[in-house]
Structure 1
Amino acid sequence: MTKNLFKDVRMDEFHPEFKNAKKRLEPLYQRNNDLRSEFGRDYTRIIFSQAYRRLKHKTQVFFAVKDDHVCTRSEHVNLVESISYTIANYLGLNTELTKAIAVGHDLGHAPFGHGGERIINELAKKYGLESFWHERNSLHFIDNIETLEDNLHHRQNLNLTYAVRDGIISHCGEMNQKCIVKRNEYIDLNDYTSAGLYNPYTWEGCVVKMADKIAYLARDIEDALRLKVLKENKVEVLRASLNSIASDYKFNAINNGTIVNYFIQEVCENSNPVNGISLSQEAFEIMKTIMKFNYQNIYLIDRVQIHTNYVNLILNSIFDFFIKYYLIAKDSNSSLINELLKDQDDYPHAINGFVHWLKKYSRMKGLERLDIYENKIIYDFIEDDKAIIKSIIDYLSGMSDEYIIQIFNELISF
């Protein structure tokens, strides 16, 4: 293997597209003594955000298990950060950029994993909104929802660089790609209409896209074994199958360390600026074999479907609960927030959380925002009849699993 093959195309101040890559939607306030690069600043803005903190209580695959060692969404993004850093560092790419993309790539992921994502998408389409998918929702969260306090305690949007925003919406790890080649076009990221529509704008984004899949292949198998969803004999069948494909490599075990190391080595050995961030054909077959195994034995089993039905009940019940107050307010020509606050004592967590959400992001009659909020208004209840739908869906998609269950239990308790 040859190190630093990508050093001449890394995204830094010497790259011809760096001016585009570091652009922000608005000027970002500056400190005279800031030591960080633009991408380094993005990294810390992400890990200081509340959405990043909530990832520790969001499902990766297995929901709400009372086991500290089962993977959460937070662990997943940290694994992606580690894998992408190792690959980018070897190839000579900008590791600060890969780290920022990696820790931010799932900030807008729905609660309850991909099952929750599908249910929220069904709600969005039922009420006439565009399709919901977590890559675009992650961009929505970092552009419009997540805020940080500035030096004056005013809350402002994250306002990240184009390269990080692009890497986040372009990261789709569910696609089967042997080679990922960066796109050259500097596009409006709002032009995305489906996951994986475009490849990332930077090689660093391509690395994160590949690392996203590497991170969960064996980690999900480890969790399935721990929770007795899988038995060792099935994993042994998978191991034999992989060894029948591999010509110069022997899998002595199927675990996270072994699989991650194998694919990192393969990416580093087969990637170059002509062919892209690449796997060998053999490694690609091994990746597809593991993915097929995971779908058949983990993601599509009956237990997961039963859990999805439970999640469907939770999400739809909370959605119906909130929209009821909007309909009451509309029929009586009263204030939505006043109608919500009438039941504040009965449903303190549900009502207070949603009222705070509305006050922070909404424009509506009779509502005065606090001076500390300098973030964007995204729900215009005066001009947009879909504002209530958008606000509820955003609120649901941002919740952690634990918080959403707390809300649900409050609604069904007597």
Structure 2
Amino acid sequence: MKKDPYRFQRSCFKAQAVSPGSEKWAAAAARRDALYQRDEDIRTPFGRDYTRILHSSAYRRLKYKTQVFFRPRNDHVSTRIDHVHYVASIGRLIADFLGLNGELTAAIAIGHDLGHTPFGHDGEAALAAIVRRDGLAPSFWHAANGLRFVDEFELLSGPDGRQYNLDLTYAVRDGIVGHSGPVNAPLFPREAAIDLKDFTRPGQFNPFTWEGCIIKIADNISYLGRDIDDAVLLGLMKPEDRRVYAEVVDRYARAAGISSIDVNNANVIHLMVTDLCLHSTPERGMGFSAPAMKAISEVTRLNRELIYYNDRLKAYKDYGRQVIETIYGALCRYAEEPGRRDYFREQFPSLTAGFEKWLVDYMQGFHDEKRADTLACHWVYTYRKGEAGVSEMKRAAVDYISGMTDRFIELLYREQVVFKSQRTPYVSL
């Protein structure tokens, strides 16, 4: 009978799982604010986080946000929500095999990209540049923006009908802000439950839990093969490009004692997940074999050269940047010219109405009388007169834009470039 090659790895992290009574449980399950309780609730803290994220508006918007390719006319090309599902699938598989907390892993997975902007990483770069240029703290990148959204902006109705912040557990919030960055060496979770505002750049600290480490790795695994498949579907990948990928995967397969296989998403994920599970222990950390790390590095380099930096995508990148700059510029004028706000309401009704609702909900002192009595969430901004108030409103504009879908921001852009008399009426998202 053939021996199980993974017999020493199965459940080898079980003692490190975040579970009641474990060393990190109290810190991991803690919430910033006490969340309302239901006596009959059968969920664990992380199971509760999972459903709170699942029912959030930010999660639903992911289906209309770019993964790599903008608005493809092919229903089988990935959007951001597809990527999130791939990460969740990979993460849960690894967690279950290694004996870690699958519920925590799943909750981090479906929340990890809630902070992504319209137009994917190009939109993220555009907003980050705006924040740097205009001195609008805090720094902007999608993982930090995800934490900002789950902490401040996403609301759900409670048993009393009031709207509350998500108030997720520390471990899930940490997994969201800590998932960014490359994985160039085996991962170990950090020991301290730091203030998550201490994150000032992507990858600055490792996640607090092994479950968070899984999602950081699963995120890197998930797009390797999927982006290749999407490029093939769109005709961006030439036959000779596929052969280069095949050589990389074949070299790794031979080094691992595996028969030659085709280069596709399923095979790449299978190779990477099984390699990770075979070579990870609490003592060695969570990581890949040297041949697998080399293969990941080579495939990532090829993806950059042949897909992400392909000349065919340049016009799209420029377009996304132009759309975001235009909408941000319009909101800046709204902030800087309070005497012309009736003009903005008349000429740009959808943009102005949406932004003013954002300010009413989250900016203390901006028409507080209009704020719904049902809102029980934090104030995020404070209304001020003068330059400080303009800067506060500009930061609110960045936050508002960052949550938009591709198609919604395009509708607002059309409102900017088409005269009112020439517009076709549409329903705002």
Length-normalised TM-score, structure 1: 0.95
Distance 1:217 1:299 in 2: 12
Find the counterpart in structure 2 of residue 377 from structure 1. 379
Amino acid at match of 1:86: L
| Residue from 387, 404, 411 that aligns with 1:406 | 411
Task: Name the CA shift for 1:365/1:82 in 2 (closer, same or farther; >3 Å).
Answer: closer
Distance 2:259 2:349 in 1: 57
Distance 1:30 1:341 in 2: 44
Deviation by residue 1:252-286 (Cα, 9 ceiling, x = unmatched): 21111111111110111111111111111111111
Distance 1:349 1:249 in 2: 57
Q: Where do 1:13-412 residues align within 5 Å?
A: 13-130=20-137, 131-172=139-180, 174-246=181-253, 247=255, 248-329=257-338, 332=339, 339-368=340-369, 369-382=371-384, 384-385=388-389, 386-412=391-417
Does the Cα contact within 8 Å between 1:344 and 1:352 map onto a contact in 2?
Answer: yes
Amino acid at match of 1:362: M
Distance 2:121 2:208 in 1: 26
**How many angstroms does 1:341 deviate by?**
4.9
Worse-superposed segment, 24-33 or 297-306: 297-306
Distance 1:366 1:120 in 2: 27
Distance 2:112 2:18 in 1: 18
Task: Give the fraction of aligned pairs with identical amino acids, expressed as a percent.
Answer: 38
DSSP 3-state at the match of 2:337? helix
Worse-superposed segment, 115-124 or 229-238: 229-238
Amino acid at match of 2:272: F
**Structure 1: segments with no counterpart, 5+ residues:** 333-338
Distance 2:290 2:214 in 1: 18
Deviation by residue 1:101-143 (Cα, 9 ceiling, x = unmatched): 0000000111111111111011111111243111111111111
DSSP 3-state at the match of 2:368? coil
DSSP 3-state at the match of 1:156? strand
Distance 2:91 2:40 in 1: 29
Distance 2:270 2:349 in 1: 48
Distance 1:49 1:280 in 2: 38
Amino acid at match of 1:42: D
Distance 1:65 1:304 in 2: 12
Distance 2:358 2:366 in 1: 16
DSSP 3-state at the match of 1:36? coil
Worse-superposed segment, 234-243 or 103-112: 234-243
Task: Name the CA shift for 1:251/1:55 in 2 (closer, same or farther; >3 Å).
Answer: farther
Amino acid at match of 1:222: D
Does the Cα contact within 8 Å between 1:239 and 1:251 map onto a contact in 2?
Answer: no
Find the counterpart in structure 1 of residue 422 from structure 2. none
**How many angstroms does 1:57 deviate by?**
0.3
DSSP 3-state at the match of 1:278? coil
Find the counterpart in structure 2 of residue 335 from structure 1. none
Amino acid at match of 2:166: L
Does the Cα contact within 8 Å between 2:360 and 2:366 map onto a contact in 1?
Answer: no
Distance 1:162 1:365 in 2: 31
Deviation by residue 1:22-54 (Cα, 9 ceiling, x = unmatched): 000000000011010000000000010000000
Find the counterpart in structure 1 of residue 423 from structure 2. none
Deviation by residue 1:271-313 (Cα, 9 ceiling, x = unmatched): 1111111111111111111101100100111122221111111
Does the Cα contact within 8 Å between 2:56 and 2:154 map onto a contact in 1?
Answer: yes
Task: Name the CA shift for 1:251/1:168 in 2 (closer, same or farther; >3 Å).
Answer: farther
Distance 2:269 2:203 in 1: 23
Distance 1:260 1:413 in 2: 46
Does the Cα contact within 8 Å between 2:118 and 2:406 map onto a contact in 1?
Answer: yes
Distance 1:302 1:56 in 2: 26
DSSP 3-state at the match of 2:156? strand
Task: Name the CA shift for 1:346/1:88 in 2 (closer, same or farther; >3 Å).
Answer: same
Does the Cα contact within 8 Å between 1:347 and 1:411 map onto a contact in 2?
Answer: yes
DSSP 3-state at the match of 2:67? coil
Does the Cα contact within 8 Å between 1:170 and 1:199 map onto a contact in 2?
Answer: yes
DSSP 3-state at the match of 1:344? helix
Does the Cα contact within 8 Å between 1:21 and 1:163 map onto a contact in 2?
Answer: yes
DSSP 3-state at the match of 2:164? strand
Amino acid at match of 1:287: I
Distance 1:149 1:400 in 2: 23
Find the counterpart in structure 2 of residue 4 from structure 1. 11
Amino acid at match of 2:187: I
Distance 2:168 2:20 in 1: 17
**How many angstroms does 1:17 deviate by?**
1.4
Find the counterpart in structure 1 of residue 427 from structure 2. none
Task: Name the CA shift for 1:356/1:341 in 2 (closer, same or farther; >3 Å).
Answer: farther
Structural RMSD (CA): 1.4
**Structure 2: segments with no counterpart, 5+ residues:** 1-5, 420-429
Does the Cα contact within 8 Å between 1:77 and 1:102 map onto a contact in 2?
Answer: yes
Worse-superposed segment, 341-350 or 50-59: 341-350
